[in-house]
Amino acid sequence: MPWYHQCENPQAVESIYSSAPALERWMLREVTLHEDGPRISLRADLPDFPDRPPQRWHPEFTVAQVTVNLVGVRDLSFVGWSANNEGVFALSREAPGTLRFAFDGGSTHLRGSCIMAQVSKISGYATEAS
Q: Is residue 30 part of a domain?
A: yes
pLDDT of amino acid 71: 97
Question: Does residue 87 lie in a domain region?
Answer: yes
Instruction: Determine the average pLDDT of the residues in 111-128.
Output: 95
Confidence of residue 130 (pLDDT cuts 50, 70, 90): very low
In this predicted structure, the answer to whether residue 75 has a pLDDT above a threshold of 50 is yes
Note whether residue 90 is domain-resident: yes
Question: Is pLDDT at 127 greater than 90 in this prediction?
Answer: no
Report pLDDT for 129: 60
Number of structural domains, the chain?
A: 1
pLDDT tens readout for residues 18-67? 987 889 999 999 999 999 989 999 999 999 999 999 999 999 999 999 99
What is the mean pLDDT of the segment spanning 1-22?
Answer: 91
Residue 49 sits in which domain range?
Answer: 3-125
Q: How many CB atoms lie within 10 A of CB 69?
A: 21
pLDDT tens for 91-116 read: 999 988 999 999 999 899 999 999 99
**The pLDDT of residue 3:** 94
CA distance 52 to 97: 32
Assigned domain for 130 exists: no
Do the Cβ atoms of 80 and 109 come closer than 8 Å?
yes
Query: What Rg do the C-alpha atoms of the chain give, in angstroms?
Result: 15
Question: 3-class SS at 13?
Answer: helix
Helices in 37-118 by DSSP H: which ranges? Answer: none
Is the residue at 96 inside a domain?
yes
- Domain membership of residue 106 (yes or no) is yes
Does residue 100 contact residue 117 with C-beta atoms inside 8 Å? no
